Every structure is written in C-alpha cells, then in structure tokens.
Chain A
Amino acid sequence: MFFRMIFGTLFRQWKKMLMIAFTIALGASLATAMLSVMLDVGDKVNQELKTYGANITVVPKENSVLSSLYEVEGEGGTGAFLREDELGKIKTIFWAFNIIDYAPFINASVTLDDGTKASAVGTWFNHHMELPTGEQLDAGVKSMRSWWEVIDGKWLDEQTGGENGAMVGKALAEKLGIKSGDTLHLNGTVSELTLDVVGVFDAGGEEDDKIFMPIDTAQSLDGLDGKIDSIEVSALTTPENDLAIKAAKDPKSLTIAQYETWYCTAYASSICYQIQEVITDSVAAPVRQVADSEGAILEKTQLLMTLITILSLVGAALGICNLVTASVMERSAEIGLMKAIGAQNSSVSGLVLTEIMVTAIFGGTAGFFAGWGFAQIIGHSVFGSAIAMRPVVIPLVAVLVVIVTLAGCIPAIRMLLRLSPCEVLHGR
C-alpha cells in the first residue's frame, strides 16, 4: 500500500517531482563537479607549479650547518659532498611516486684559454633512469628549468651522447662571443677538456654567466668523480599544516600516531625527511617560497570551490523547500484525509519524505553524472587534462544530497505536522 501511494504520487505529480529532481540534480552536479575538482586541484596546481622549478633542495650536512650559522647560500666550499651513486635511492622512498623530477649539481671553477675564469656546472639534462621498481624516468634540468629559453642551438641531449657538449648562458656567450657549434677549451684543476657548444640559453638570472655540462664531464675537470654538491627535487606535496610545521622543527617531538600521520602524508617536510634517510649525510629542505606559494594557491582555490559548493547546495535546499512546501499545500486535503482516517504524523511525514528521497535518488544520480561531466569540462578548459574521479566523492555527494533534501523538507514537514484534518477537510 505504501509503495502504491509512493508511485501514485510520483506519477500523478510527475511535473512537480521532475522539478524537485531537477533542483536536486543541479545542486548535486555542482557539488560533484566542485568536489572532484577540489580533490584533484592539489595535483593539478602542483603540476602547474612544478614548471617553476624544484621545491626541495638537498645539500651536504656540513654545508647546511654553515649556511644556517652564517645565513648564506653556499655552494660547497667545505669539502663536503653528496654521493652520486645514491641518487637512485630518492625514487625508493615512501613518497617515490610524488618525486616527479630531480637533478644533481656539481660546481667546478674553470679557466678558459684567454685566462677568463668561469663557473662550470655539471648536471643532468635529460638523464634516463631505469629504477628497481621497473619505472623509467627522464630527469634533469631540461624539464626542471622549463623557463630557460634556448636562443641559439638546442638542448643538450644526454641520451644521444652529449658527454662532450655544453650549454652556455647568454651573458657569458655574449662576453666570449661564442655561439652554438663553437668549441670551448676548459682548464680544470686536474684536467682540461674541449667541449662543443650545443646551445646558448637565456635563464634570466645568474645562470646566464655559467657553463652547463653533463655531470661526469664537470666531475672530471676537478677530479670529483662520484661527488655532487647538491640535488634539486621537484615533488608533489601536500600544503603544510601545524603538524607538518611541528615535524619540520623536530620529528622526535611527535607522538607515534602523529609521526605516522605525518610520515604517510606528502608534506614537503616528510618527503625531505625521507630523502635524508636515503642520502648519506644530507640535509633536505623545502624551498620555502615555492612551497608556501603552492600552499597558498591551493588553499585559496579550495576555499573558492568550497564556497561555490556551499552556495549551490544552499540554493538547491531553498529550491527544494519551495517545491516541497508547494506540493504539501497542494495535497493538504489528501494529507488531511490520511490524518482523519487514522494516519499518525510520523506515517504521513514518512510518506512525504520517502517520495522526496526517491526523487532525490533519481535527481542525485543524474546530477552526479552531470557533475562528473562538468568536472571534465573544467579540467580540460583550466588544466588541459581530465579530472580524476575520486571514489570518496560518491559518498560525499550522497550524504550532501540527503542533508540538503532533508533540510529543504523541514518547512514542509513542519507545515504538514501542524495541518489539522478538520481545517483542510472543511476548508477552514
């Protein structure tokens, strides 16, 4: 009998129910789209920000101590180095999949044939790695310094044999009057080399005065085989919170539960901590400006999404409220009759709520798929890629639809409870 009445109402008042379903669908679609984008926007924004360089630097512990004491940005000078053979371990940490790029650096002082002194930097350009996990990675400055503009020649390609090649910064190239295709004769402290200038780049900074070459080449100039000065790491990170800040100061101050939470969350500080665990005598530190910018942009973007979600749900609740109240008013004689022949308030409320919830299921389901579509449109138009559907969105949207629908029904239910059968049946 109950279901006959439900179906009777749904079919009899299909226009009104369709309007309610449409309102719920609208709210659900916006909630789905915003939640999907909000949950995925972290990765998307991170990926966007990764084009602006590394967000973690790793240096030898001794250099870090000196930098901290004298508040200077040092480039070695203490004789302490990191080990090149440990670089692969960075992709074995717990958050290995969040490490999207990294490059080692070794600095060497060279003298040109005309007596000019210059800074040489050995690094990876597009270093190919086959990791123990089976993953393959092309890492290096070509992807990490995406803002470098090659104004003459091309990028040095390590994978097609570039060990005798070099890239020269724009300022130095202008000073020396060299261009791509020329050769440079460099005198290091232990050896001398002749390198082909593959390209000239404009970095827009101090790197324009330097010569970049493959790491082995730079190491051989100063006899520093297997040694590196620093590593720059580009990692997908979670915005810092109080726990991450506390842990960054001293991980030992955390309780076991806090430690596990922190360690298993992709905070910049926990990734740094894990890098330190695998790189001997190293100190890994987030580049604060980048990390803070990421956090600020993410927080603001997520706040905006949350506000849009809340507003859309409030709008949906108001719409549902109007429609359900109108429906109850229209059916006041029927509801009065039910009460007159013995229906308690709970029975009638249950009937009306079931009708609305059945409508909400249809509206919510349609809205979910529509919202998923909206999310993809947003993903492609804003980030140029699809938005991943997080499973958590489904229960979240379901709960929100139920809450919004119930909230929208409150005035109608209050009206229904106050409805007196003698008033509606006798038209008073």
Chain B
Amino acid sequence: MSLLELKNIYKIYGDLHALDNVNLKVEKGEWLSIMGPSGSGKSTMMNIIGCMDKPSKGEVLLDGVDIAKESSKNLTAIRRDKIGLIFQQFHLVGYLTAIENVMLAQYYHSVPDEKEALEALDRVGLADRAKHLPSQLSGGEQQRVCVARALINYPEIILADEPTGNLDDANEKIVVDLFHKLHNEGTTLIVVTHDPEVAEVAQRTVYLRNGKLHKETINENFTGEIKFVSEVEL
C-alpha cells in the first residue's frame, strides 16, 4: 500500500478546475517533486496533501485513511502527527528564537523538549544560532530552522512548498543537501517547486499543467547527479 494516494481528485472554484482528475501515488521513503507553472495547481495540490484543504471530489488516502472525509479538527490532528510543512516564506514566529520556533511544533504536538529541539537545529547546522531571533538569521538559516521545525515530530511526510524560492544559490544547495540527508534517513519528501534544478534531484518529478498531471520523469540513477532516464507522457 502506498503511503499517499490521490484518486480522481478535483478542486473546483466556480468554473475553474484548479485540479482536474489528478491521480498520484507516493511510496514511503520516496522523494517526489511537483513542478508546473504559476496557476497550474501546485499549491492547491500541496494544500490538499498537507491536510489544509479538501478536494471537491475524489479520495486522498494517507496510510489508507481517506483524509478527504475527515473533519477540520481531525485534519489538524493528522497534519500535526504525520506531516512536516516547509514554506517558501519560512513563516517563523518573529518574537520567538530559532529553538523556540522549533519547540512550537513540539508544543502543539506533545511536549516541548529543548534538548531535542537543539538536536534538530544541530542536524540542520544551526545549533550555534539557537537563541537568535528570525530577524537575526539569514534567509537560508531561516529556511533551515523551518526544516528543523518540520522534522522535529518525526513526520511521515515532509511537504515543502517552494523551499528554495527565496534563497540564493549557496543556501539553495544547503537546503537541497538537507533534503538528501533526510531522504537517506528514510523520510518521505514531497517538494513543490518551479525550479528545475531542485525538482530534478528528486527520485521522481510530476508536472502539472492546468490542474492536470501531464508528465512524469523518473531519475533512475538517483545519486545526486541529475540524469533523466525516462520520461512518460501522462
């Protein structure tokens, strides 16, 4: 059984079909990229996978449970327990330090543990910046805090929306390297991006256009070197 399966997903706003009969499977431990131009439905798809929105039609099976039928309260609980979110705008709480921002996710999940939060920051190379406020961190550092916050509760899926969209090349590389590390540790990664370089380092990339999945590429030689082996029209 796949970790995540989207079956005949539609998201309709009036006459607009933001998602139009999307079918997708994500296996446990897989690194998937979702690519597409603006307005293609990437963020809508991320919101549905991230339990922040519900499809108009279709099934979203996470661990075999159809989350499309869950209440808003249950979706919050699922999001808290199973999904780690990374945003393009970082969305750190400005008046909390880096470690407190990580502990915030622990607080809403279970119990804040400063030691564990510090270890998470250490994993992203920011242990020495733990007591700094977001305003005292660079964009790349803020995104790494965001990554630490996403992985602190050991989620089944890390869902990243344009994680390198606001970063320079050096910081982009650091974040992508972190994703490699997480993937090697067995974490399932779904990265929504419009950046081909970020998308192509994933094991698999699906392409959205006008709300439909129209192409899928698989990086069969997944070693860090980007090499397209096969391309399938969907």
Contact = CB atoms under 8 A, between A and B. Distances in A.
Interface in B83-121: 85, 87, 89, 91, 93-96, 100, 103-109, 112
Interface in A308-353: 333-334, 336-345, 347
B53 A4 contact: no
Q: In the complex, which range does the number of interface residues on chain B fall in?
A: 20 to 34
Given A421-B52, A422-B47, A341 B108 contact: yes
Contacts of B47: 422, 426
Nearest to A421: B52
Given A339-B76, A340-B79, A340-B85, A4 B108 contact: no
Contact of B96 (A8, A344, A422): A8
A8 B108 contact: no
Contacts of B79: 340-342
23 contacts: A1-B100, A1-B103, A1-B107, A2-B107, A4-B96, A9-B95, A11-B95, A333-B89, A334-B91, A338-B108, A341-B79, A341-B104, A341-B149, A342-B81, A342-B108, A343-B76, A344-B76, A420-B52, A422-B43, A422-B47, A422-B50, A425-B52, A425-B91
Contacts of B106: 1
Contacts of B161: 426
Nearest to A337: B91
Interface in A216-267: none
> Chain B interface secondary structure, helix, strand, loop or mixed?
helix
Given A340-B85, A343-B108, A334 B93 contact: yes
Nearest to A348: B108
Interface residues of A, number: 26
Most buried by A among B81, B100, B104: B104
A-B complex: 7 closest residue pairs judged by Cβ atoms = A342-B80, A8-B95, A422-B52, A342-B108, A422-B47, A12-B95, A1-B107
A426 to B, nearest CB: 5
Interface of B: 43, 47, 50, 52-53, 73, 76-77, 79-81, 85, 87, 89, 91, 93-96, 100, 103-109, 112, 149, 161
Nearest to B107: A1
Interface string A1-36: 110110011011000000000000000000000000
A334 B73 CA distance: 19
Nearest to A340: B85
Contacts of A425: 52, 87, 89, 91
